[in-house]
Every structure is written in C-alpha cells, then in structure tokens.
Amino acid sequence: MTSLIEDSRAFPAAPPPDLNDPRKITSNDWDAFRAVEMMTNHWDRPGWPPGHKAYYWMLAFPKEQELIAQARSCQQALADLDMDEVPPDGLHITMNKIASCADVKPAAVDALVQLADGTLGDGFEIRAEPMAGSTGAIRFSVTPWTPLVELHAALHRAGLRAGVPGGKPSSRFRPHLGILYNNRARAASPVIDAVAPLRGRPSVTLSIARVDLVELRREGRTYRWRVLHSLGLPDQSLAR
C-alpha cells in the first residue's frame, strides 16, 4: 500500500489522516482551502507553451449525467466569480502524467499500455463530495482515496517498467475533480465564502470501470484531449 506524505508541492500539503473516511477527507480538503489567502492564475504555468501536448492517464466522466448536473448547478451558483468553467464533457480526475508528446514516441506509449493492461486491479466506486478548492481551482472532493491511490501507484509502476519520464510519485497524489479554474490573482476569502453554502449539496456516486490514456492539450482556457487507449478495470462482482 502506497503511503502519502506531507509535501508543500501538493494540495492539500498534508494528506487526510484516513484515506477511506469521507468526513476526514472532505474536512481536510476544506480546512486546507480555508487556509488559502491568495488564489493564483491556474493557467499561468511553466511548461505549457502554445501548441504543447502531453500524455496523461485520466478518469473522464462525459456521460455521468448526475455529476454533470451537479457541476453545472454549482458553476451557475458561482458565476459571479467569473472563473473558467470545466465543460460537461471535460469533467475528469487527472491521474498520472506520462510525458510531453515531444519527449516520448508513440511506440513507447503503446508499450506502456501493454505493460499496464491487466495490472491495474478491479473497478471501484467513488463519490464526488461537497465543494472545496485549491489555490487555483474550485473542485469536488472525492472519496475514498485508497482505490485511487492504488490505481495511481499501479500506473506509476507501469511507467517505470516502460521507461517513460512520468510525473509526481504516488506519495504526492491528491485526487480531486475540478469544475472551475481560477483565471487571475485574487483574494481567496470571497471565493471561500461563496463556495461554503454549496457544501450541503448531496454527493454523487461514480463507477470507475476504465482509465484512459489521453493526448492532452489546451484550447484557450479549457483542457481538451484525444483518447488514445482505454483500459478496462474488471468488475469484481462478476467474479464472485
């Protein structure tokens, strides 16, 4: 089992004390967000020049209508913040970065998929929980973390075997599901106050049955991607 560590480069810097307890996960996310004083421009990041593309593993939810409706309702409630909305077909959980498309040949990506296939464990369920945020976004907390961390670790191991550059280690992984990206420097307090009333909304159950390897790009202030490979995660209940 992968252990998460405290790391100032992650958000929240400190992981929750229990990776399976929804209350502790959502409280940890919310406490970290409430401690933010200034929000930063999400798009002001090095490593994304015009035309840049990168390979990532991600979980995408283009057909989860309950999640889409919940996200849209929260976006409308926060419209006065003038942040950049994640479109309905763009809702996702970023898993592992693989590499810039300029640094890895397609054959290496295909080899990675072959190594990962069949090694990622079973499918599982998570829940998109009440709103929280980070220094650059507003997002759903997700619970529980354990199956997501284990999937991240399995993908990371496959990347090591395939020899691709990879991204952050699983010990720094902090799963979340964004709905709004902050597009300028601003004081966090009014944003936190606006998000707080949304925390009473119900959570949404999501079935995780596959993980996609995508070619990710930016179009303006939106992430878009092309799915290159999709690996199924077996339904454990069918094996009983």
For 36-62, the pLDDT digits (tens) are: 999 999 999 877 888 899 999 999 999
Report pLDDT for 240: 40
Q: Comparing C-alpha atoms, which of 191, 163, 152 is closest to residue 4?
A: 152
What is the domain partition of the chain in residue ranges? 26-45+52-234
Question: How many Cα neighbours within 13 Å face the side chain of 196?
Answer: 9
Question: How many Cα neighbours within 13 Å face the side chain of 214?
Answer: 22
Res 137 pLDDT > 70: yes
Query: Do 130 and 200 meet the contact criterion of CB atoms below 8 Å apart?
Result: yes
Average pLDDT across the chain, whole number: 95
CATH code for the domain defined by 26-45+52-234: 3.90.1140.10
